[in-house]
Amino acid sequence: MAVLVVVTVLAWLAAPQVHRLRPVVDQLRQGDLPAIGLPQLPAPPPATRAPSGLTFTDAAGCRPAGDYASPRLDRRVRTLLVAAAARHRIRVSCLRTGHAHYVKGTRRVSNHTVWRAVDVDQVNGHPVSPSNTDARQLAHWIGRGGAGVQPSEVGSPWAFGGRPWFTDPGHQGHLHVGFAGPTRAGAR
């Protein structure tokens, strides 16, 4: 009886594939009990695997590696990181987990909190600082939409002038890239 229940449930779940269940039903009618195995879990989609030029650190109190694998991460952040890692070796210090809820000194919700921002603390193996020319080049490229996505905010040690770029004392040691609200309903 249990086998019949399992087959019924499987048939219901696989209704569009009902022609594939015909041999199983025929075996049951003849009294033969087919072996029932568990399906293999699919590999995670390639988009959630970090490319070779992208690493993570927990040193800033955040846990970006787990956040990178989350389906909640805004697709624009992931697109940016993949494109940037193809040009430079970058280290992410923060995505969402561990970041403050509000932008420092304000009551404005941080884009990190809603999965739409990233902080990068190293470029090509060197800390982001006013003297890191690779980081400067990357910040400029990101702000111009070089990754194929246009951020609404790029914080860095450099004053490139005008939005999306900004600089302040809190962004002298990392690149912050954030995106405005979702581009379409349901987008992350």
Beta bridge partners of 165: 154
Instruction: Give 35's pLDDT tier (boundaries 50, 70, 90).
Output: low
Alpha helices in 30-184 (DSSP H): 64-69, 75-87, 133-143
Segment 51-76 shows an average pLDDT of 92
SS3 166: strand
**How are beta strands 153-155 and 117-123 bridged, if at all?**
unpaired
Which residue matches tokens 């970090």?
50
pLDDT at 186: 44
Q: Summarize pLDDT for 122-155 with one digit per residue, the tens.
A: 999 999 999 999 999 999 999 999 999 999 999 9
Q: Average pLDDT for residues 98-106, to the nearest whole number?
A: 86
pTM of the model: 0.72
Residue range 4-27, pLDDT digits in tens: 555 565 665 665 555 665 666 666
